[in-house]
């Protein structure tokens, strides 16, 4: 019995460890861009940056990624200085190297040759104790595309509301 109990607690601990701990999300990116493909990549950070991220402090709002010299770099992501850091603190908006496989970098390089495509960070999170960034290959939306997307979202919400109201009426009639 005790052996079975410890196996369950180990399995639960493993599930908790495997869970994503979201630090920052770029909600505006899905509004401003049409996401074509997403990639999960590691990020090279200093110690104070990791500590600041573990406190849940970061902003992806103005962030973008670029391929330079066969390496992918993340620009304009704001990770504030660690409060207890000393002279070893980092610059808040420095460019950070993203860790991808060579095949993925080559594929991205080929796709970025097309006009209108860019790399945008969507999420920054911890997975199994490692900092990860989800970047998206995206195309910028025009203003009318943004309005159409909002209209479709609103129509879907109204349809769901009407369906749930009809179900409620149907249940009350059956009683």
From start to end of 11-149, where are the E strands? Answer: 20-25, 33-43, 64-68, 71-75, 96-99, 117-127, 130-140
Superfamily of domain 19-141: Small protein B (2.40.280.10)
Which range among 5-19, 69-83, 98-112, 137-151 shows the weakest confidence by mean pLDDT?
5-19
Pairwise CA distance, residues 98 & 33, whole Å: 21
pLDDT at residue 160 in the model: 92
pLDDT at residue 157 in the model: 93
Top pLDDT among 173 and 87 is at: 173
Which range among 27-36, 83-92, 110-119, 122-131 shows the weakest confidence by mean pLDDT?
83-92
**pLDDT at residue 136 above 60?**
yes
Mean pLDDT of 145-153: 84
The H or E element spanning position 12 is: helix 2-18
Mean pLDDT of the chain: 82
Pairwise CA distance, residues 64 & 113, whole Å: 16
- Alpha-helical runs (H) found in 33-114: 47-54, 102-112
Q: What is the pLDDT of residues 46-88, one digit of tens each?
A: 888 888 888 887 888 888 888 988 898 989 888 887 777 667 7
Which range among 43-47, 87-91, 94-98, 103-107 shows the weakest confidence by mean pLDDT?
87-91
pLDDT at residue 79 in the model: 81
**pLDDT at residue 18 above 70?**
no
Strand partners, 40: 134
């Amino acid at each position: 019995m005790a052996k079975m109990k410890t196996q369950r607690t180990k399995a639960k601990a493993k599930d908790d460890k495997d869970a994503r701990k979201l630090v920052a999300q770029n909600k505006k990116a899905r509004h401003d861009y049409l996401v074509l493909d997403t990639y999960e990549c590691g990020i090279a950070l200093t110690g104070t940056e990791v500590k600041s991220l573990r406190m849940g402090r970061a902003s992806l709002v103005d962030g973008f990624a670029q391929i330079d010299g066969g390496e992918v770099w993340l620009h304009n992501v704001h990770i504030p200085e660690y409060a207890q850091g000393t002279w070893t603190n980092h610059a808040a908006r420095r460019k950070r190297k993203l860790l991808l496989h060579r095949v993925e970098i080559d594929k991205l390089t080929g796709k970025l040759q097309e006009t209108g495509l860019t790399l945008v960070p969507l999420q920054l999170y911890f997975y199994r104790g490692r900092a990860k960034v989800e970047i998206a290959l995206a195309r910028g939306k025009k203003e009318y595309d943004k309005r159409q997307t909002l209209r479709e979202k609103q129509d879907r919400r109204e349809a769901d509301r009407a369906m749930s109201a009809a179900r409620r009426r149907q249940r009350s009639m059956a009683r």
